[in-house]
Structure 1
Amino acid sequence: MTPSDEILDIVDEHDVVVGQAPRGEATARGLRHRCVFIEARDAGGRLFVHRRTPAKPVFPSHYDMFVGGVVGAGESYDEAALREAEEELGVFGLPRPEPLFKFLYESAEHSWWSHVYQVRCELPVNPQVEEVAWHTFLTDAELEQRLDDWEWVPDGLEAYHRLRAFRAGGAAS
């Protein structure tokens, strides 16, 4: 089975399941589904940042400050967060990612409910080559310096700004 064949729950504007569709169809038709975003920091508090591979069907070769992905049909956000973090970082035995907040991401082409998590990854990473073309760990200041210079995934950039507001005591949505 290819990633585009993976079955996803299709959800409404309230995140209630209204059907199912293969991932490729959900992406092509802009059907609202579920995703997870996990902020992964190393033992020193630096943030895992990576560039997606050119083969990615959504936002190829863009930079991202989150690991994550789609939530499979019948899978919980929490289950998807741990699975995606371990897969993309290439580690096993991570602590369960801590849920922070949820928001609806919408653009002209895409719509998904997005649950944002954080996790500490003190294990050596071995990122999944199908997902990650390049990676590093950056301090918050180093990341801020690159926000205007690198082409970031738009959903991750929105999640990042909402996370900053959330941590500053404001609303994430």
Structure 2
Amino acid sequence: MSAADEVLDVVDRDDRVVGQAPRGEVYARGLIHRCVFVQAADARGRIFVHRRTASKLVFPSHYDMFVGGVLGAGESYARAALREAEEELGVSGLPRPEPLFKFLYEGAGGAWWSYVHEVRCELPVAPQESEVDWHTYLSPEELDRRVAGGEWAWVPDGLEAYRRLREFRRRLPL
């Protein structure tokens, strides 16, 4: 089965399931669906950053500071966050990613409910070759410089999640 054939839950603007459709149809018709974003940091607090493969259906060859992906039909956000993080990082036994906040992304590529998580990955990574073309770890400061510098084409939904995550962290009590 190709990625385009995977069945997804279609949801409304309140994140309620209203139907199901193959991923290819969801993307083609611009239907709202569900996605997880997981920011993975190593033991030194550096953020996993990667370039997506050219074969990705959405935002091919773009850079991202999150691992993640769409939820399959009936899948929970928590289960998808762990599954996607382990798959894309190429690890097993990862701690359960911590859920932080959810927002409705509406922009380039369509619209989807996006649940942002974070996880500490102290395991050696072996990123999934079908998903990740290149990877590194960047300090939060270097990541901020790369985002501000504009020399890398970032996935727009990940960039929106990153901006919201930075704001979320600024509002946390010390």
Indicate the TM-score class for this superposition, using the shorter chain for normalisation.
over 0.9
Residue 163 of structure 2: which of 145, 161, 164 is its match? 161
Check whether the contact 2:108–2:156 (CA below 8 A) recurs between aligned residues: no
Letter in 1 for 2:165: L
Return the alpha-carbon distance in structure 1 between the equivalents of residues 146 and 124 of structure 2. Answer: 24
Return the alpha-carbon distance in structure 1 between the equivalents of residues 93 and 20 of structure 2. Answer: 31
Letter in 2 for 1:11: V
TM-score normalised to the size of structure 2? 0.96
2:51 maps to 51
Shift of 1:35: 0.1
Return the alpha-carbon distance in structure 2 between the equivalents of residues 119 and 169 of structure 1. Answer: 20
Structure 2 residues without counterparts, runs of 5 or longer = none
Check whether the contact 2:36–2:80 (CA below 8 A) recurs between aligned residues: yes
Return the alpha-carbon distance in structure 1 between the equivalents of residues 28 and 123 of structure 2. Answer: 36
Return the alpha-carbon distance in structure 2 between the equivalents of residues 109 and 39 of structure 1. Answer: 21
Root-mean-square deviation (Å): 0.9
2:6 maps to 6
1:130 maps to 130
Letter in 1 for 2:10: I
1:100 maps to 100
Deviation larger for 64-73 or 99-108 = 99-108
Q: Aligned to 1:19, what secondary structure does the other structure show?
A: strand
1:64 maps to 64
Q: Aligned to 2:164, what secondary structure does the other structure show?
A: helix
TM-score normalised to the size of structure 1? 0.96
* Cα separation, partners in 2 of 1:146 and 1:6, compared to 1, 3 Å: same
Shift of 1:107: 1.6
Q: Deviations over 1:64-116 (max 9, x none)?
A: 00000001100000000000000000000000000000000002540000000
* Cα separation, partners in 2 of 1:89 and 1:109, compared to 1, 3 Å: closer
Letter in 1 for 2:141: A
Letter in 1 for 2:85: A
Return the alpha-carbon distance in structure 1 between the equivalents of residues 103 and 35 of structure 2. Answer: 10
Structure 1's consecutive aligned runs of 4 or more residues displaced over 2 angstroms after TM superposition are: none
Structure 1 residues without counterparts, runs of 5 or longer = none
Q: Deviations over 1:16-54 (max 9, x none)?
A: 000000011101111100000000000110000000001
1:86 maps to 86
Check whether the contact 2:58–2:109 (CA below 8 A) recurs between aligned residues: no
Return the alpha-carbon distance in structure 2 between the equivalents of residues 133 and 154 of structure 1. Answer: 18
Q: Aligned to 1:95, what secondary structure does the other structure show?
A: coil
Q: Deviations over 1:117-144 (max 9, x none)?
A: 0000000000000000000000011111
Return the alpha-carbon distance in structure 1 between the equivalents of residues 2 and 97 of structure 2. Answer: 26
* Cα separation, partners in 2 of 1:109 and 1:67, compared to 1, 3 Å: closer
Return the alpha-carbon distance in structure 1 between the equivalents of residues 145 and 104 of structure 2. Answer: 27
